[in-house]
Structure 1
Amino acid sequence: MSAGFVDRPQVGRRFSKVAARYGEADFFAREVDRRMQERLDFVNIAPNRILDLGCSLGASFPGLAARYPAAQLLGLDVSPAMLDAGRTQPQGWQRWLGFGKKSGPQRLAADAAKLPLKSRSTSLVWSNLLLHWLDDPLPALAEAHRVLDVGGLLMFSTLGPDSLKELRTAFADGYAHTQRFIDMHDLGDMLVGCGFADPVMDMEVITLTYDDLDAMFAELRAAGSGCAMKARRHGLTGRGALAAARAAYEGMRRAEKLPATFEVVYGHAWKAEAKQTADGRAIVRFDLTQKK
C-alpha cells in the first residue's frame, strides 16, 4: 500500500487541541468501545498485560479492568496532551477504580507502528478506532503481533469505506474531506500477512443524524475527528464550494435530519506458534513425551 496519505503530525495536533474536553465529545468512541467489550464475552483469555493502542483519555480501562482485574494496563497514544488529561482529570468512574494514581494504568506517548515494548510481552492488544488515523495499518498490526505472546489476542475497531459517505458526496471540490477508510477484507488479509491466526472480521452501520451541517462539523471537531489527509484543503473553504456542499447535503435530508453514516469494522485474531523462521525456514516441533 502506498505511503504518504495521512498527515500524522496533524492527527496529533487535532487530538491534543481537544484533549482537555475530549471526554465531553467522545460518545461515539465510547459506544463502539462498549460494543467491542461485549465481544469479549465470547473470548476465552486471561491476560496478564493489556495494551490499549490509541487509548486517548483511557476510557476503555474501566471495562477492561473490571473484566480482567489481575491484568496490568498500559495505554499508548500519539498525543501527550491526551495522556496528560487522562492522568490529571480522571472521571468519577476512574477515581472509584483508583485510576489517576501511581498504581493505576501506565500511559506512554509513542507511535503505534514503532512500539517501545519487548517482543512477546503482552497478552491482549486492544485498539478502538485508531487504524484509520494511520497512513498504513500494516506496520501497526505487525507491531501488535510482535509484542503479543503466543496465544495472545488482538482486538480492534476501525471505520470502513462507507463512513461519512454523505460528506464525501456533498463536496465536489477535489479535496479530501474525510479520512481514507480501508475495507475490512483488506484488513483481514493484512492480519494473515502479519502472521495472525484465525482472523474474524465483521461490520455494522451506525447512522447519526444532525439538524444541519454545522452541527455535524462542530461534533467532529470536538472529537478531534476532522480530516487529517494530506490532500485536504489547507486553507478556508470558499463560499461557493461550501454553499454547494450544503445544498448537496440538504438533498440527503431524511425525516428532517441530515444523516452521517459510519461503517464500523471489528476484527480480532490470535497469535499462534510461528511456523517458520524469519528467513523462511520451516519450524518442525517434536513431541518428546513418551507414552507409557
Structure 2
Amino acid sequence: MNAGFVDQRQVARRFARAADTYERGDFFAREIDRRMQERLDYVNLKPGRIVDLGCSRGGSFAGLGARYPEAELLGLDLAPAMLRIQAARPSGWQRWLGLGKRNGPLRLAADATQLPLAAQSAGLLWSNLLLHWLDDPLPALAEAHRVLETDGLLMFSTLGPDTLRELRAAFADGYAHTQRFIDMHDFGDMLVGCGFADPVMDMEVITLTYDDVDSLFAELRAAGSSCAMKARRHGLSGRQGWLAARAAYEAMRRDGKLPATFEVIYGHAWKAAPNKLPDGRAIVRFERPPKH
C-alpha cells in the first residue's frame, strides 16, 4: 500500500481544534461505541489492562470501566488537547466511576503506529473509529499485536469505502473531499498478515440525514472529521464550483432531507500463542496424556 496519502499533521490539528466542540459532534462515535460494547457481551475476557487507542475525550471509558472494573485503563490519542480536556473536565458518569480522579484512566499522547508500551502488556486493545485517519493501518495493527498478551483481544471499528459517497459525488473538481477508506476484506487480510488468529469482520450501513449541506459540514468540523488528505484543496473553493457542488448534493434530497452514508466496519481478532521462535524455528507443543 502506497504511503503519503494522509496529512497526519492536519489530522492532529483538526482534532486539537475540535477538542472544545467535540461533545457537539461526537454522537456518531458514541453510537458506534455503544454497538461495539454490545459485542463484548459475547466475549469471555478478563483483561488486566485495557488500551483505548484513539480515545479522544474518553467516550469509551464509561462502558469499558463498568464492564471490567478491575482492569487498568489506558487511553492514547494523537491530540494532547483531547486528553487535557477529558482529564480536566470529567463528566457526571466519569465522576461516578472515579475516572476524573488520580486513580482513574491513564492518558498518554502517542502515535498509533509507534506505541510507547511494552510487548504483551495489554489484554484488550480497543479502537473506535481511528484507523481511517492513518496513512496505512498495517503498522498500527502490527503494534496492536505486539502490545497484546497471548489470548488478548483486538476490537475496532472504522469506516469503509461507501462512507460520505454523496459528498464525493457532489464535487467534480479532482480534489479529495473525504478520507480514503479501506475495504473490509483488506482489513481481514492485514490482521492475518500481522499474526492475528480468527479475525471476524462485519459491516453495516448507517444513513444520517440533514436539513442542508451546511449542517453536515458543521457537524464534521465539530467532530474534527473534515478531510485531512494531502490531495484535498488547500485554498478556498471557487464560488461557481461551490455552487455547483451544493446543487449536485441538493439533487440527492429525499423526503425533504439530504442523506449522508456511513459504512461502518467492525473487526475483532485474537492474539494466538506463537508457532515460531524469533529466529524462525517452529514451536512444537506436546501435551501430557491425562492420568487415569
- TM-score bucket (shorter structure): over 0.9
Counterpart residue number, 1:261: 261
Task: Report SS of the residue matched to 2:20.
Answer: helix
Note the 1:270-285 alignment, pairs <5 A. 270-285=270-285
Match for residue 224 of structure 1?
224
Query: Secondary structure, in 3 states, of the residue corresponding to 1:287?
Result: coil
| TM superposition shift of 1:21 | 2.3
Distance (whole Å) between structure 2 residues aligned to residue 76 and residue 220 of structure 1 = 22
Partner of residue 119, structure 2: 119
How many positions carry a matched residue from both structures? Answer: 292
Q: Distance in 2 between matches of 1:157 and 1:128?
A: 5
Query: Secondary structure of the residue that 2:62 maps to in structure 1?
Result: helix
Instruction: Output aligned runs, 1:175-254, within 5 Å.
Output: 175-254=175-254
Tell which deviates more after alignment, 224-233 or 92-101. 92-101
Q: Secondary structure at the match of 2:120?
A: coil
- The one-letter amino acid of 1:189's match is D
**1:3 maps to amino acid:** A
| Distance in 1 separating the partners of 2:63 and 2:43 | 15
**CA positional deviation for 1:287:** 2.8
Structure 2 partner of 1:110:
110
Within 1, Cα distance between the matches of 2:9 and 2:218?
A: 21
Identity of aligned residues (%): 74
Distance in 2 separating the partners of 1:277 and 1:242: 58
Whole-Å separation in 2 of the counterparts to 1:287 and 1:256: 66
The aligned counterpart of 1:12 is 12
Give the superposition deviation at 1:285: 1.9
3-state DSSP of counterpart to 2:150? strand
Q: Name the SS for the 1:19 alignment partner.
A: coil
- The SS at the match of 2:19 is helix
For residue 248 of structure 1, give the secondary structure of its aligned residue in structure 2.
Answer: helix
- Map residues 92-103 of structure 1 onto 2, 5 A cutoff: 92-103=92-103
Give the match for residue 76 of structure 1.
76
- Distance in 2 (CA, whole Å) between partners of 1:31 and 1:289 is 49
Q: Which amino acid in structure 2 is aligned with residue 107 of structure 1?
A: R
SS of residue in 2 equivalent to 1:188? helix
Any idea what the Cα deviations from partners look like across 1:89-111, whole Å, max 9, x if unmatched? 11111111111211100000000
1:208-229 per-residue CA deviation (whole Å, 9 max, x = no partner) reads 0011111100110011000000
Cα separation, 1, equivalents of 2:2 and 2:14: 24
Equivalents in 2 of 1:205, 1:73: separation in Å? 30
Offset of residue 275 of structure 1 = 1.2
The gaps in structure 1 that reach 5 residues or longer are none
Cα distance in 1 between the residues matched to 2:20 and 2:225 = 15
Which whole-Å CA distance do the structure 2 matches of 1:177 and 1:140 have between them?
A: 24
How far off is 1:17 after superposition?
Answer: 0.4
Q: C-alpha separation between the residues in 1 aligned to 2:229 and 2:281?
A: 40
What is the one-letter code of the residue matched to 1:13?
R
TM-score by length of 1: 0.98
Counterpart in the other structure of 2:166 = 166
Corresponding residue SS for 1:155: strand
Asked if residue 133 in structure 1 is aligned to residue 111 in structure 2, the reply is no
Structure 1 residues 118-160: Cα deviation after superposition (integer angstroms, max 9, x where no partner): 0000000000000000000000000000000001000000000
RMSD (CA atoms): 1.0
Q: Deviations over 1:46-103 (max 9, x none)?
A: 1110000000001100100111110100000000000001100111111111112111
How far apart are 1:25 and its partner, in Å?
1.6
SS at match of 1:154: strand
Paired residue secondary structure (1:6): coil
**2: CA distance between counterparts of 1:85 and 1:9?**
20
Correspondence for 1:37: 37
Deviation at 1:288, TM superposition (A): 5.1
> Which residue of structure 2 aligns with residue 149 of structure 1?
149
Letter in 1 for 2:195: G
Letter in 2 for 1:281: R
Give how far 1:282 is off. Answer: 1.5
Q: Which amino acid aligns with 1:18?
A: A
